[in-house]
Amino acid sequence: MSTIRILNLSWVLLLSLVVSGCSPAGQDTADPAEAGAAETVSVEQYSAETFFATTTLFGSSVSHDNSAVLVTSDADGIFNVYSYPLDGSAPTQLTGSDSDANRAVSWFPNDKRFLFTADQGGNELNHLFVQDPDGTILDLTPGEELKAEFLGWREDDQAFYVMTNERDPANFDIYRYQVEDYSRELVFENTAGWAGMVLSPNGQWLALAKVNSNTDTDLFLLDLSTDAIEPQLFTDVDGDVSHSLFGFTPDNQALIYGTDGHGEFIQAWRYELATGQTSQEYSDEWDVSFVYYSDSGRYQVIGVNADASTELSIIDTTTGVMLELPDYPAGDLRGVNFSDDESVLVFYVNSDTSPSNLYAWKVGSEAITRLSDTLSAAINPEHLVASDVIRFLGFDGLAIPSLLYQPHQASAEQQVPAIIFIHGGPGGQTRKGYNPLVQHLVNHGYAMLGVNNRGSSGYGKTFYHLDDRKHGEADLQDIVYAKKYLQTLPWVDGEKIVVMGGSYGGYLTMAALAFTDEFDAGINIFGVTNWVRTLESIPPWWASFRKSLYDELGDPAEDRQRLERISPLFHADQIQVPVLIVQGANDPRVLQVESDEMVAAIRANNVPVEYVLFEDEGHGFANRENRIEAQQAYLDFLETYVANNEQ
């Protein structure tokens, strides 16, 4: 069992070819008449509790004996680890936390021990744990104020690798742990601020990423079997090119990496370790998101971010032919993973109208086995809404890709309020896929427009960098023009348009209220309101991304005046419409004090503001009860201040 773990190069605060006046990838902009063509139907309206009775699943490690899949599930209200039998029988809960979210990592290669990770109340200080079949749990990374991450198994199955910042909060070192007794030794001391690390299956080669700016990341290699201590640069040094690590080939002969140095979109390239030769591995008209392999290397899995959906290919490398699966429900494949002997394939299918369900397939057989049923039994799937990919023109004629949800009950005769929903980031992306927050509000008669404003990922490097040092300005205008687009739809009530978002989307929500008078209300979920404080309080484990972050947003020591100018907290007196603010007390990214001060400043204006503070959450929700409480707060707020116009 040899798996690879990549340290995410994104510092996103949560979760394209651009020609002025044209849409990315040749897509047309939306026709308002066509966008209103859906047939009006009567639907049952479901409660927040019903929508969040849906189970969230992820993780697809197959046990050594091909009997079960290791899965993370919130079936009991908070994330815990479960074992899902491959024969389709009932799952077994393996961990029983009722406070901190436990997330599955991997079965052990030759027995039923497993690794999982957990932080403390959402503080993001994850530790790595092992649980024995008898339920005994051991913290493999004990200590205070440290963060750890599993890096991968060695190919002989006798050791595994873990990154931890216990020595230096700003840098992750690599330790090798023995499978038998968990003894460990340091194999790499990180003193140079490496932002990403990947090990070859045999543990000989270490690939490292160095962030120079938000447009330039270099890759290095170090042979750990020698006395060399200085990693060697192997990517181009000329120009600004962003590189990322995908992983080594199972035969330890090559490294697969991503690069945007050959066009607008990320391509997968191959570096031969013996010769230093590079060649293109895979390219598309969109970003290649990942490339990985089954254990022997027979199967290669490639994911492409195609217009907010994942297009996934599984290639038999012995023939070059794509693996054909039996029929499965419509949607994106996720979490694709092979058993060690490559005889079993497990995967999830997810769509706008169906949460992720787990499937298993005995390779070559005529049918797949469904292992889960995650949608609440009380919900009729026909009452859910699939989004349409649309594009509207921004203030300068740039096409802005978005996802539009039209409630079943909306028509020209029955217009509905609309919510502009803004993703996190900056640099995130609103994507196709099941979202109970969205479906609940759409079910209750609110149109939703998920805007991928300039600066979003997935649409090419030019589009991605259009908001650099223009946050709260250029990207905010895209939100304003999203409103103008919604007002052209015959089934939208153009006088009832709300802005809503989480993390960076929460920031743009507050910016929209402070710097424009376009919107009727706003919902800010864990959003930044004071960029000076946020950038000065970056968690230490983000140190390797600090330069990139400053390149995009500004250095608080040098750009304080501009950062204050775009920070809603310093302009709260300009907010004149109702606001709902949601905050986690343990959030290490957006500190509670930001929301406390924002609420106080708005109240000083005698403007309605509601504040929901969760004492046991961080930057997001781990507890289902909290998700339900927040979701009900969204709906109550909208019904009070938008649907019924109580100002």
Burial (CB < 10 A; 0-12, 13-18, 19+), residue 41, is exposed
What is the pLDDT at residue 589?
86
What is the average per-residue pLDDT within 565-574? 96
pLDDT tens digits, one per residue of 609-625? 999 999 999 998 888 99
Q: At what angle do helices 474-486 and 504-515 cross, to 10 degrees?
A: 80
pLDDT tens digits, one per residue of 223-247? 999 988 899 999 987 789 999 999 9
Q: Are 446 and 417 in contact (CB under 8 A)?
A: yes
What is the average per-residue pLDDT within 571-600? 94
What is the pLDDT at residue 620?
87
3: pLDDT strictly greater than 50? no
- Band (1; pLDDT cuts 50, 70, 90): low
What is the pLDDT at residue 40?
62
pLDDT tens digits, one per residue of 99-115? 999 999 999 999 999 99
- Band (11; pLDDT cuts 50, 70, 90): very low
CA 365-369-373 angle, 5° bins: 165
Q: What number of H helices and E strands is found in the chain? A: 11, 36
- Read off the DSSP letter of residue 55: P
- Band (165; pLDDT cuts 50, 70, 90): very high
pLDDT tens digits, one per residue of 492-528? 999 999 999 999 999 999 999 999 999 999 999 999 9
The structure tokens listed for 72 are: 């993370």
- Read off the DSSP letter of residue 644: S
- Read off the DSSP letter of residue 144: S
Q: Where are the domains of the chain?
A: 24-49+379-643, 53-292
pLDDT top residue among 588 and 440: 440
- Band (464; pLDDT cuts 50, 70, 90): very high
What strands, in cross-sheet order, belong to the sheet with 254-259? Answer: 243-248, 254-259, 267-272, 278-282
| Separation CA 343–CA 364 (nearest Å) | 9
What is the pLDDT at residue 31?
52
What is the pLDDT at residue 634?
98
- Read off the DSSP letter of residue 569: G
Q: Are 217 and 9 in contact (CB under 8 A)?
A: yes
Tell me which CATH code domain 53-292 carries: 2.120.10.30
What is the average per-residue pLDDT within 126-132? 98
327: pLDDT strictly greater than 90? yes
- Band (29; pLDDT cuts 50, 70, 90): very low
- Read off the DSSP letter of residue 26: G
545: pLDDT strictly greater than 80? no
What is the pLDDT at residue 551?
86
- Read off the DSSP letter of residue 586: T
What is the pLDDT at residue 546?
82
* Inter-CA distances, 135 with 58, 61, 76, Å: 21, 19, 18
C-alpha distance across the termini of the chain, in Å: 60
What is the pLDDT at residue 6?
32
Q: Which helix (H) or strand (E) holds 165?
A: strand 159-168
22: pLDDT strictly greater than 50? no
Please compute Rg for the chain using Cα positions: 24
What is the pLDDT at residue 337?
97
Q: Are 381 and 375 in contact (CB under 8 A)?
A: yes
What is the pLDDT at residue 646?
60
Long-range contacts of 534-537 (CB under 8 A, 24+ apart): 534/589, 534/590, 534/591, 534/594, 535/563, 537/591
297-333 burial by CB neighbour count: b if 16+ within 10 A, else e?
A: bbbbbbbbbbbbbbebebbeeeeeeebeeeeeeebbb
| Separation CA 128–CA 115 (nearest Å) | 7
Average pLDDT, the chain: 92
20: pLDDT strictly greater than 50? no
Identify the CATH class of 24-49+379-643.
alpha beta
* Inter-CA distances, 376 with 353, 355, 632, Å: 12, 10, 17
Give percent of the chain with pLDDT exceeding 70: 94
34: pLDDT strictly greater than 80? no
What is the pLDDT at residue 389?
98
- Residues linked to residue 448 through DSSP beta bridges, in sequence order: 405, 419
What is the pLDDT at residue 540?
83
Q: Reduce the DSSP state of residue 331 to 3 states and report it.
A: coil
Give percent of the chain with pLDDT exceeding 90: 84
| Separation CA 264–CA 287 (nearest Å) | 9
Q: Are 165 and 175 in contact (CB under 8 A)?
A: no
